[in-house]
Every structure is written in C-alpha cells, then in structure tokens.
Amino acid sequence: MDKLVKNSGGRIAYAIIIPMVVVVLTSVIGIFALMHWSARLSDESAEQAQHKLIAGALELTQNYLVKQQTGVVIWDEAHHVVNDPVPNESWIYNNITHWLYQNNGFSKSVVVGRDMDVRDVYAHDQSRRWMTPSLYDQLVPALRKVRARYIISFRKTPSGLFAFAPKNNKTGRSIAETGVVSIGGEPYLFSAAAIMPQVQSITSVRYPPAVLVSMVPLMGEKLSNISEMTSLKGFLVSAPLVDRNDVGQFHLQSPRGTDIGVIAWKTSQPGSQMLMRINPFLAIAAFMIATVVIAVAVFTKLVTRRLARSEANAVHAARHDALSGLPNRSRYHDLLVETLEDGFYKGRSTAVVYIDLDHFKDINDTLGHSAGDKVIVAVAQRLKSVIPDKGIVARISGDEFAMVIKDCESDEWLEYILDQVQDEISRPIMIGRREIFASLSMGVAIAPRDGHDPDELLRKADIALYDAKANGRSRRSFFEATMEHHVQSKDLMTRDLRLALQNDELDLAYQPQTDNSAKRIVAVEALARWTKEDGTVVSPAQFIPVAEESGLINDLGIWVLNKACEKAHDWPGVVVSVNVSPNQFKHPRFVEKVMSILAANNLPPQRLEIEVTESVFAGRNDSVLHALRRLKNLGVKVALDDFGSGYSSLSYLRRFPFDTLKIDRDFVSDMNGNAEAEAILVSIIHLGKALGMTIVAEGIETEEQSRFLQEHDCSRLQGFYISKPLKDKDLTTFLNNYQGIGGSGFGADLSYQGRSA
C-alpha cells in the first residue's frame, strides 16, 4: 500500500508542484530578463545620445575651423595670388598658411589650384612629405564638393554673363567642406574652403576655385574640447577597438569613406548602473522566492502524501475487513466479477466457495470476543496459506468467508484443494494455552457449469453451504439443482407449518424417562410431531429450525406448552419436560405466558420441566438468564439439554444452577465398551450430582447402556430401550402397564430413529 501511496501522492504533488515551479520560475526569469532587457535598451539609447553628442561636438569644432579659415579665404588678394600662374609662395606662407598656424593652430595646410593641382604645401615643422598622393586622394571628394558649391554660387544674369554671388557671402561665410583625414596614421580635422573674391564679380566663364585645406590634429586640445562639450569621460582616438559594453566608439571616416579610426570614450550606462544597484535586491528576492517555492513544494508534497495515504487507507478500509485484512464482501464481489471474466475468456472453470465456521458463536460466547477474533485471524491466515496462486479469500461477515479458486483443472483437483483447506483448518488453534478445534462447512458453485453471473454463482454457493450445514456441518457440498428445490421447499415448509399451526395439525409425542431403578416412569419429554395431510411425516429436526427462522417458534412453543400441560393431568406424578428454543426467550412476556398456561391448566410449576440447550447462552444474553431464573424461582424445573455437545459446557453450569442435566445422546451411543467415553459419562454424572442436579441420560438403546448408567447412579433414563416417543393415549397405556425395563415395546407411529433424520 505504501508504494501506492507514494505513487498517487507523488502524482498529485507533481501535478501541483511542477506547474507552480514552472510559473514561478518563468515569472522570475521573465522579470530578470525584462530588467536586463530594459537596462540594455536604456544603455543603448544612452550610447546613441552620446554618439549624437560627439557628432554634434565634432561638427561644432569643424564649423569653428571653417570660421577660423574665413578671414583668409574670402580675400581678393589671396584669390589673385593663388590663382596666379606662378603663385607667390612666401606671400601665401606669410598671409595664409603660416598665419593660420600661428593664429589658429592649423599645423598643416595645402592649396589646391583650379586644375586640382597642388599649389602649395605647408607644415609648421617645414616637412612636406606629409602630402602624399593617398592623402590627396582622401581629400578629392571634399575638394569636389567645395568646387561644385562654388560653381553653383554663380547666378546667371539676363545678359548671359555669370555673377559670382556666394550665398553666404553676405554673412561672410566661406564655401567650405569639413572632415577627417588620416595623416601618417593620425586623424586630422580639416576644413577645405574655396578661396574667393570679397566682392561680387561678373564673368562670362565660371572657373572652379582654388581650395585651401587647413588641418589640425584631432588630439590634445581639440579632443579635450570635445570632451568638455559632451561632458563625456575617457576620450581617446585610436584604431577601432574590440566591442565592449562600457566603451563607446565613434567611427571616423575620410571623405572617401575609408575608416580612419575611432573616438572612444567610456560610456555612461544608466541601465547597467541601475541593474548593478538593484542586483543585490533582485538576488535576495530570487533567493526568497526560491525558498518560498521550495517550502511550498515540500509542504505540498507532505500534505499530498498525507492526503494520498489517508485516501489509500480509506479505500483499503472500504474494501477490506479490518480484523483479518482480507477483502470484504463488496471487494470480493468486484474481484469475483474480474476473475469470472478472466476465466470466461480463457475458457477455464472458476470455483466460488462459501465458507462458514462451525460453532463460531459458541467460541465467541464462551471464550470471549477477543478469542473469537483470534480464531478469525488464524482461520483467515490459514485459508490464505492454502489457496492456490492468485485465488481470492475474503471475509463476508462474522464467521463467513468466501474464496474464489481460479483455473480449476478438474473436480478432483478442486476436491484436493478443498481437502487441504479443511485439513489446514482442523489443526488446533492455540488461544493462549487453550487449543481450539475449528471446522468449516463449505458450499461450492462452479462457473461455467453452474452459471456465469456472479450473483447467481454466489446464491448457488450459498445454497450449497446451507446444504452442507443442514447435513451436519464440517462438510462441503457442491451445488446441485435439487438443492435449489430444497430452498424453495423451505419457503413452502414455512407456509405449510403456519397453516398446520392454524389448523391444529401438529401433535405431541411423549418419551418416557424412568428413575435409576428403571422400574418407574418419573417424567416424559414432549416432542413435537407433524404429519401432513398427505401422510408425510416431517421431522422436528427439519421444521423446528424453519420455525425458528420464520419466527413461528413462538406460537409453536406456546402450543406445545399448552398441550403438554393439558395432557399432564392424565399422568399424575409424572414431570412433563418441554423443549424451549432460545428464540422463545426473546419474547418479553415469555415467563408470564408460561405461568398463565400453568394456571390455565391448573398444573403446579413443579410438574413442568423446560429443556434448554447450550445455545441459550449465545450472545451473552442476560435477559435469557433472567427469565430462566424467574421460572426457576417460580418452581419450574430447568434442564440443560444435550450437555457436552457444545464448546464450553462446563462453564454453562457455573452460569446457571440447572435442576437437570441431560447428557448428550452421543456420549451414550459412543459408550459401548469405549473406556474413554465411559469415563467421560461417569465423570459427568459425578459432576452433576456434586452440583446437586438430576442427571438424565438420553438415547439409551441397549441393555448394556442402561445397566452401565444405572450402575453409575444416573438419575433418569430415556431412550428407545425404554420406549420410543408415544402418542398420549399410547403413553397412558404404557404407563398403566409399565413394570420396568423389558416390558412390552409399544408401536409408536410418531417416533423417529434420530434427531437428524
């Protein structure tokens, strides 16, 4: 069952825990991812803003370069000098290139003529080698733009001539293009401006301008200016760097579009910074969530395990008998259905066996319920130990068990198995120091022979069990169609018995009892007789149990008492002994009834003896003892019938002071020279005498039996040897003629050869 609990508990737990963990994990991961993503977004947008800042700062710086150039490029004289076929280099040096270096720090300059020829090259350190063809090539797009802007600055006049009117002329701005070039691997900011006249001029032909390109290295002061403007830190110019989150790179490109290098800076990363700040809190939160999730998971698992256990317990309890642990009736039914289906498909026989523990009530009543429980447990274990593989044993009710035996090979095989069952049960069961001998009655129905339907098979097994019990217990019966007839006839018998009672068809026979000398009849036992209209005689062994089951026993008992008391007047001085069923004591006014019958018949109570069997003690029914005591106190004699046939006969003697002890017929019939049986008989007589009781031996059939009992001081003798039960008239004659044993035997229509006839 533990495995079952684990499995189903686990299943329930995982059904709750897994989705919960998944939801919590996804939420946590989602929150983390979202925060990182938004941090990244904010970092990126910050970097873009910084990019724009740098681009703006660079543009400002370059615009400033243009402005610084303006003074020398919008100048008539300069325009003349640079366009002169042989330009005056020293003038250019003094007034333009060197001047620009001195005043504005342009450390390198070059003048490109109208025909794109290099007219003048300047470097503050006098070197000229810096001006290489590749540098020139880098500058060409900027030069062209300047030249084009210059050309489109001419306005066509109505006369067809061109008037040079630079757009920005009025504001004194040059036509310029700025950018970055690499010189010897170092980036330089440059401004390329058209060298143009100050005043408006009219010309028939538009010439491109000479262009002055002034350069200043992008480092030192210029770089720190940009840094200042942008308020960004860690500026440096270098070749492109490996991508890093915390380093921003602004790519510098020549006018040709070739990479020159980058302006790198330490990016401010607001998102990452924010993350860094909240990361510890997030970690704590994650830890707490994980702790809560684990705690909830563990708790859920424990709770579901407990739930599953109690559910499994409840299911087990609902399906099993608490005492023996065997499946109970409803579970048995389910298992039977499954087994029958299985057998049906396999084409195999299945036996349904109903089992009744014989005399269990006696064990329970005499040894107590805990002993009874132990017997049940022992029987359950033994049944389980002998049933073949995969067979089923169940406890149906108090002392009823049932088995299903699968795949029965043959009737012989089944008989062999049932023999084993009976052998196993017949071994003594030890209850404390006491040995209990149990026996079983079994009823067997076999599928498919007796049917397929489980209920039908159970009914038939029950009928077979009834048959086994009716035939004397400790036996087994296989279902036969005639048994069904018996059951039906039991119902019929109840109906007939009721009618017989109404129609006064019952009669009494009286069996005489002599005193010890066997010379005098001192008592008669009244025995019910029923001869049907058609002449069939029904034995009391048959109809008394039917009367008890149907409740007719009360009416029947009263009728017998009435009749016996009435007839007693015919036989003065003779005690009339009447058998009374335990069920009759259940009637709350039984004692009053007896007394009123005695009164009605004017019979002294001392003339009446009632015989009860040990079964009156069943169920520890104190009200029965109470009624017996009242009867005894009123003077009615009380006899214990069939003494010794039950379990704990001796203990009954302690519970009620019987007047008479009737030794069970079996002890007398067992006698016949059997020393043990004789010893038992003698000791019962001694015991009874010691307790002051009258001892009656019944079932005496031979002279030897009679003599033995007489010799051993048995108080009264009863049996066919003295007389069979007689009709009342016959009894009167018998009494009149009786002269002691050996007298004439009376033909007795109403007699029987035994109680189990």
Amino acid code (one letter) for 582: P
Footprint on residues 663-682 left by ligand C2E (CB under 6 A): 665
- Which of 339/514 has CB closer to ligand C2E? 514
Assigned token pair, 634: 């009123």
Tokens at 524, concatenated? 């008669």
What tokens appear for 254 in the block? Answer: 């020549």
Q: Which residues in the 442-501 window bind ligand C2E by CB under 6 A?
A: none
Stretch near ligand C2E under the rule CB under 6 A, chosen from 201-209, 540-548, 601-609, 672-680: 540-548
Shortest distance, CB of residue 532 to ligand C2E, whole angstroms? 16
Size of residue set near Mg ion by CB under 5 A: 4
Other C-beta atoms lying within 10 Å of the C-beta of residue 232: 19
Q: Which residue, 459 or 665, is less far from ligand C2E as judged by CB?
A: 665
Establish if 755 lies at the interface with ligand C2E (CB under 6 A). yes
Q: For residues 718 and 641, give the distance between their C-alpha atoms in angstroms, rounded to a whole number.
A: 12
Site for Mg ion in 545-604 (CB under 5 A): 579
Of the candidates 58, 308, 725, 730, which one interacts with ligand C2E according to CB under 6 A? 725
**Is residue 524 within the footprint of ligand C2E (CB under 6 A)?**
no
Among the listed residues 611, 614, 728, 730, the single contact to Mg ion using CB under 5 A: 611
Give me the helix-helix angle, 481-502 and 553-568, nearest 10°: 50
Q: Does 754 bind ligand C2E (CB under 6 A)?
A: yes
Residues in binding contact with ligand C2E, number by CB under 6 A: 26
What residues contact residue 551 under an 8 Å CB cut-off, 6+ apart?
A: 583
Q: Cα separation of 516 and 713, whole Å?
A: 7
Query: Of 261, 237, 236, 239, which is closest to residue 251 (Cα–Cα)?
Result: 261
616 binds ligand C2E, rule: CB under 6 A: no
Q: Residues 301, 422: contact at Cβ < 8 Å?
A: no
Closest CB 524 distance from Mg ion, rounded Å: 11
Strands 575-579 and 608-612: parallel
Q: Output the smallest distance, CB 353 to ligand C2E, in A.
A: 30
Do you find a cis peptide bond into 448, omega within 30 degrees of 0? Answer: yes
Rounded to the nearest whole angstrom, what is the least distance from the CB of residue 521 to Mg ion in the complex?
16
528 part of the interface to ligand C2E, by CB under 6 A: yes
Binding-site string for ligand C2E from residue 576 to residue 595, where x marks contact by CB under 6 A and - marks none: ---xxx--------------
- With CB under 5 to 8 Å by kind, the binding choice for 297 among Mg ion, ligand C2E, none is none
Q: Where are the alpha helices (DSSP H) in 519-569?
A: 540-550, 553-568
Among ligand C2E, Mg ion, none, residue 560 binds (CB under 5-8 Å by kind): ligand C2E
Which among 457, 547, 465, 463 is positioned nearest to 500, based on CA atoms?
A: 547
With a CB cutoff of 8 Å and minimum separation 6, the contacts of 318 are 330
Binder of ligand C2E out of 540, 644, 646, 688 (CB under 6 A): 540
Q: Out of Mg ion, ligand C2E, none, which partner does residue 204 contact, by CB within 5 to 8 A per kind?
A: none
From 25-33, 244-252, 275-283, 537-545, span contacting ligand C2E (CB under 6 A): 537-545
Pairwise CA distance, residues 135 & 108, whole Å? 12
521 binds, among ligand C2E, Mg ion, none (CB under 5 to 8 A by kind): none
By CB under 6 A, residue 642 contacts ligand C2E = yes
- Out of Mg ion, ligand C2E, none, what residue 754 binds, judged by CB under 5 to 8 A for its kind, is ligand C2E
Using DSSP's 3-state secondary structure scheme, residue 408 falls into: strand
Minimum distance, C-beta of residue 2 to ligand C2E, in the bound complex (Å): 54
Is 719 a binder of ligand C2E (CB under 6 A)? yes
Q: Tokens representing 19? A: 């989705």
Smallest gap from Cβ 356 to ligand C2E, in A, equals 21
380/396 Cα distance (integer angstroms): 11
- From the list 28-36, 95-103, 350-358, 611-619, the region that binds Mg ion by CB under 5 A is 611-619
Question: Whose Cβ is closer to Mg ion: residue 493's or residue 697's?
Answer: 697
Amino acid at 616: V
Residue 160, judged by CB atoms within 10 A of its CB (0-12, 13-18, 19+), counts as exposed
Q: Using DSSP bridges, classify how beta strands 440-447 and 349-357 pair: parallel, antiparallel or unpaired.
A: antiparallel
Of 462 and 496, the one with the shorter C-beta distance to ligand C2E is 496
Q: Assess contact for 512 and 735: CB atoms under 8 A.
A: yes
Cβ-proximal residues to 375 (8 Å cutoff; 6+ apart), any chain: 357, 360, 363, 429, 431, 436, 438
Do the bridges between strand 247-253 and strand 108-112 make them parallel or antiparallel, or are there none, so unpaired? unpaired
Q: Does 217 bind ligand C2E (CB under 6 A)?
A: no
Q: Which one of 206-214, 237-245, 515-523, 535-543 is the stretch in contact with ligand C2E (CB under 6 A)?
A: 535-543
Nearer to ligand C2E, 407 or 701 (CB): 701
Binding positions for Mg ion, 369-408, rule CB under 5 A = none
Residue in the block written with tokens 């008998």: 321
Distance CA 51, CA 262 (A): 12
Q: Which does 693 bind (CB under 5 to 8 A by kind): Mg ion, ligand C2E, none?
A: none
- Please, which residue, 408 or 717, has the CB nearer to Mg ion? 717
- 120 binding ligand C2E? (CB under 6 A): no
Nearer to ligand C2E, 339 or 613 (CB): 613
Task: Name the nearest CA neighbour of 513 among 523, 505, 498.
Answer: 523
- The pairing of strands 716-718 and 694-697 is parallel
Question: What CA dihedral angle connects 471, 476, 482 and 488, to 10 degrees?
Answer: 70
Name the segment binding ligand C2E (CB under 6 A); options: 41-49, 106-114, 286-294, 573-581: 573-581
Nearer CB in complex with ligand C2E: 403/493: 493
- State how far the Cα of 697 lies from the Cα of 711, in Å rounded to an integer: 13
User: Nearest distance from residue 701's CB to ligand C2E, in Å?
Assistant: 4
Report DSSP state, residue 94.
I
State both tokens at 359: 């005399």
* Number of Cβ within a 10 Å radius of residue 655: 14
End-to-end Cα spacing for the chain: 52
Site string for ligand C2E, 690-709 (x = CB under 6 A): --------xxxx--------
CB of 612 to Mg ion, least distance (A): 9
Please pick, from the candidates 298, 318, 541, 679, the single residue that binds ligand C2E as defined by CB under 6 A: 541
CB of 421 to ligand C2E, least distance (A): 31
Interface mask (CB under 5 A) for Mg ion, residues 631-650, using x and -? ----------xx--------
One residue of 641, 652, 667, 716 binding ligand C2E per CB under 6 A: 641
730 touches ligand C2E (CB under 6 A): no
614 belongs to the binding site for Mg ion (CB under 5 A): no
**Shortest CB 529 distance to ligand C2E, Å:** 8
CA 679 – CA 251 distance, rounded (Å): 129
Is 512 a binder of ligand C2E (CB under 6 A)?
Answer: no
Asked if residue 54 lies in contact with residue 278, where contact means CB atoms within 8 angstroms, the answer is: no
Show the tokens assigned to 218: 């992008």
- Minimum Å gap between C-beta 715 and ligand C2E is 17
Is there a contact between 412 and 430 (Cβ–Cβ < 8 Å)?
Answer: no
CA angle 434, 437, 438 (to 5 degrees): 130
Query: Which member of 511, 660, 706, 715 binds ligand C2E (CB under 6 A)?
Result: 511
- Which strands form 108-112's sheet, in the order they lie side by side? 118-123, 108-112, 210-217, 186-195, 176-183
Binding residues vs ligand C2E (CB under 6 A): 511, 527-528, 539-541, 544, 560, 579-581, 611, 641-642, 665, 698-701, 719-720, 725, 752-755
Binding residues vs Mg ion (CB under 5 A): 579, 611, 641-642
